[in-house]
A and B are shown apart, each in its own frame.
Chain A
Amino acid sequence: MLNQLSISELTAKLAKREVSAREATQACLNQIQAHDGELHAFLSHDVSDALAQAEAADQALAAGTRHEQQPLLGVPIAIKDVIAVKGQPLTCGSRILGNFNSPYDATVTTKLRAAGAVLVGRCNTDEFAMGSSTENSAFGRSCNPWDTTRVPGGSSGGSAVAVAAQMIPGALGSDTGGSIRQPAAFCGCVGLKPTYGRVSRFGLVAYASSLDQIGTFTRSTRDAAVLLHAIAGHDAQDSTSVPQGVPDYAAALDGDLKGLKIGLAKEYLLGGLDAEVKRAVETAVQQLTRLGAEVVEVSLPHTEYAVATYYIIATAEASANLARFDGIRYGARVSGADPIELYANTRGVGFGPEVKRRIILGTYVLSSGYYDAYYLRGQKVRTLIRQDFLKAFQTVDAIVTPTTPSVAFKAGEKSGDPLQMYLQDIYTISCNLAGIPGISIPCGFSANPKLPIGLQFLGKPFGEATLLQVAHAYEQATPWHRERPAQV
């Protein structure tokens, strides 16, 4: 089954011409055809466009192009539907964009094309990446392939499902407060959120500009390294991307953790953490020790303020970022007697309840008289949270935590209680506030039902190589990432 190959396995076969890109792409399309009706990982995919790209890749392979030149040549990749792909629909999981097609490619899209990837389709997401379950998608939720009555996490739930359900070997997502790592944990795949500024945001529809970062979903750490390498780097079109060289992440992977110090954040193991998840993380920590790492306790004292800080800063930025969806230049429009009525009608119909809630929250915290008490204070706390991490990283190379407080929850279970939903991100949110990289990898399963548990590593700014090295070493010593959902 070609769709079950990892990126590394597939490129090895493509290079030897054992399989063609067209066959691999067709296998993925078949899997989508077979399961996406039930799982709803994709919002749109263009079969003929994907096959045309695959054929072009086969021609390049036939002409002698090698994967040293184009590392993803012939590899099918899916993209979260908040990232622009020229000529394809861009919905952000929202009705407000109507039948909008992007007139341009995001920088990551351009980079994937340059690396030879076959862009297959666009994955489901909570509306404008606001949510932790994909239940906020205007086009219906995605289902967790391990138990379809449960959510796959969010907001990049579609990407996680596509990878976990063997529809695609790799996918891009975006992570503003955990939107890659949490669904990766819920679906049992590898989810990497790079350092803020590592990957260009040009073409990523902004939710919270100072927190958003594009990252990867894969079935192995090695694949994460390959995919990150393809999309990372400075971009003149993104002033917040950092002009720093991109290391060969895959080349740096080895099984040894000797000499590495890993911090166990004590604030992350307190109340609210599910017992099975806690046990899996503790077992993983012992494994890390056996692999040669020294595990020490570290403190991140401002952790308890992270969720509140996040919902001030993220919603403030979102309230401005989403102002452009007004029905004037593109997207859906509901007319009105004057512009104000047109805006109200368009946005009233076009946005879902969670998006409206966050726009209103963000508008409030920026309002005259409240700015200092909320936004300004939020920024100050954010600095303290970053300092917590930088201080911890003076003594440790990485920090290990659970990715989520529990395994995947039932659809509908938390959708009536926004606060419970927001607390889903309690272990992932600080990473975005601090601007540091984080990765979630499988570290076990709950007993009944059998659902994946995620282990999170957090690293120094631009310390992706170390994170991948630690995750890879753990992965090599454990069987979890090889497990697949029974139904697919």
Chain B
Amino acid sequence: MATSTLLQVDDLQVSFLGETGWNPAVQQVSFTLEPGKTLGFVGESGSGKSVTSLALMNLLPQRQARIQAAQLLFDGRSLQQLSGSAWSQLRGADMAMIFQEPMTSLNPVYSCGYQVAEAIRAHGHIGRKAARERVLQLFSKVQLPRVKEMYNAYPHQLSGGQKQRVMIAMAISCNPSLLIADEPTTALDVTVQRGILDLLKDLQSETGMGMLFISHDLAVVAAMADHIAVMQKGWVVEQGTAEAIMRNPQHPYTQSLLACRPPHDVRLKRLPVVSEFLAGKWPGGEAQVRKELSLSAAEREAGHQEMYAQAPLLSVNNLKVWFPIKKTLFSRSAPMVKAVDGVSFQVYPGETVGLVGESGCGKTSLGRALLRLNEPEDGEIDFEGNKLILLPDRQMRAFRKHIQIVFQDPYSSLNPRMSVGEAIKEPMTVHRLHGNESGRRQKVLELLQQVGLDAAHYHRYPHEFSGGQRQRICIARALAVEPRLIVCDESVSALDVSVQAQVLNLLNSLKKALGLTFIFISHDLAVVRFMSDRILVMKDGKIEETGEADSLYHLPQKPYTKKLIAAIPGGYNV
């Protein structure tokens, strides 16, 4: 059977109206997609991959965006110069889309079932009851539990993975021939990601729809796509079958995307970054990286012996953090969620302890409890002989300069109205460090340089920086008070893999230079393993498994740890 072409794009060009005129965001992009096949787009934020997909759906703001193409054929029909109502008929029915942010992509004020039913009713004359039946079928197809409850549930009552399943149900509700998935799993845990990816694959093989799959993570795209297009700064730099791209990447940018994720088999001293590849530093590709940067087990062993001979810097004993489920006026004994339920561990000076687990396992509550940002219910925290739980509030505040935290979201953890320099200086002022104002300002400039930013950035505001740069600012702010211990709470999870590599390298080099100790919290075991000496696996508020990082990664004992490792994209199965 001759396969017809589902989507044919020739010389697509998208520009946005800026202050100085039309700025191109996507240039000369051409590709074809056949039914039942998946084309993956990969690239960093701002590479134009999302813009390409939104242009195909005509979802870009009409006044600010200009879409031009030599040819734009969908199912044999030209998509150029379609009227508004023609687009409405096409969208949702023949081409559907899943977005990156399941948290915000559903309307918070309507029930999940209603929103899916609305999509069905927009494209067919179907009664309320029949639409409801169809939604319930779809919900069980996307493997949502308790479908009838889910129908009436509102988005905020669902987990991220469940919301994304509702989005998928909505997208496939009218049996589209093209499904565009724009970073559908980026905001999700690795285990949830695996579930969503498997679901999308199953649905595709069942319905034979074509899929455009977009991600910044080449490993994820490789797991999904037949063909891959690598995008950089609006251009497609390399295009080919998934196997060719993964086995034999030609363009240095593609090579760098492949190499900047922590490898599974060897342990690297540091991760190679995109700029090094583009500068031609690694002509031998990944093989050369491995040869030059890998760290032998013997070297690690030697370091560990020295480290674990010391007295622990931090020891936590039977720590409990509970939250009341609901505040009531009259009763004081409200039911509690045991976020952290009797956790004990030690951290040695100069060590990096990885804390890993799915959302809701209590790892963030634990990290915050160490600084008493959440007040622990019970237990002991001993930091160099200081019993933190017993410290009065005033002394605890002063003590926080020894332990600092770098949060997940670099966008919301910086005050938008405070210049970067002020933000970094503030903790020093609070703790009265470095003598006077000019001493502190000097220190800020030093810190900016230390984290790879420029002294000229002092007076700029957070919105002028990219995600990676903002996380560098947060790191500089944490370093400002010269802490001994830094808690990194999902500090790289919101970043592209390429930027993630840079930030991880920065953390490691700072650790070496300043003699820091880290507690590194993440849901991504591959990243945690790259960073850590030891790993604690958390589940339901308790420590499930603990061990030396490499041996835990290669020989996990508990089924839960095995599940986490199996979910890593491009990873091997245990």
Q: Do A and B bind each other?
A: no
Which residues of B approach A to under 8 Å, CB–CB?
Answer: none
